[in-house]
Chains A and B, each alone.
Chain A
Amino acid sequence: ETGVTQSPTHLIKTRGQQVTLRCSSQSGHNTVSWYQQALGQGPQFIFQYYREEENGRGNFPPRFSGLQFPNYSSELNVNALELDDSALYLCASSGTVNEQFFGPGTRLTVL
């Protein structure tokens, strides 16, 4: 069974740029959730995708958008990057049980 993978591991962007982060869900899981974790804080829910549809969204502006593909992998897109977007971005996949399986995260630095 393959776990949740994320790419890239690290990324450096400048303010105003756009970024795409990728997540491959665990085999058999049809739900992907994205979280933003600022330094020293707990993860904050961005949004969730279930069978290619957005299924719940946290308190994040529209410049945070996502996609889920037929194989249930997912992308997180952030437009017009701001300095405060610097964080660890985590994706988690889940199936029919409550437990969410997290990937190792992508560390985004915005300069």
Chain B
Amino acid sequence: SQQGEEDPQALSIQEGENATMNCSYKTSINNLQWYRQNSGRGLVHLILIRSNEREKHSGRLRVTLDTSKKSSSLLITASRAADTASYFCATARKNSGAGSYQLTFGKGTKLSVIP
């Protein structure tokens, strides 16, 4: 089942504008991650924010996390045509055994940046 819900489902903006995508989730998390996917290909990791962090920056990306509201937002500033892709938030929960985290993805936001 999908835990994260991205909003909006689709977003179309002009090059140079900022794009904001939101994500809501339901259960407690260890961290929340944002991924990008171009045309049904593999996912590219963008940024990770831990449950005890409120804001994080990476280049033109800014992520916020509000654990009390179980929500996160991804802001892409000064968008470019190359930013056109689907963006997914994924909540991470540690598996009971050793190893890595289990990611639960939302349905994604399809971003179109018009040159």
- A residues near B (Cβ < 8 Å) are 4, 30-31, 33, 35, 37, 39-45, 48-51, 53, 55-56, 58-59, 88, 90, 92, 94, 98-105, 107
Interfacial chain B residues near A35, Cβ < 8 Å: 103, 105
Give the contact-size bracket for chain B: 20 to 34
> Contacts A42-B108, A100-B45 known; A48 to B100 CB distance under 8 Å?
yes
- B residues near A (Cβ < 8 Å) are 1-2, 4, 30-31, 33, 35, 40-45, 48, 88, 90, 92, 95-108
Q: Is B98 a contact of A33 with CB atoms below 8 Å? A: no
Q: Is B105 a contact of A44 with CB atoms below 8 Å? A: yes
Q: Is B102 a contact of A99 with CB atoms below 8 Å? A: no
Q: Is A45 a contact of B102 with CB atoms below 8 Å? A: yes
Interfacial chain B residues near A90, Cβ < 8 Å: 42-43
Q: List 15 A-B contacts (CB under 8 A).
A: A33-B103, A41-B107, A42-B4, A42-B88, A48-B102, A50-B97, A50-B98, A50-B99, A50-B100, A55-B95, A92-B103, A94-B100, A98-B101, A102-B43, A102-B45
- A92 and B44 alpha carbons, distance in the complex (Å): 11
Q: Is B97 a contact of A59 with CB atoms below 8 Å? A: no
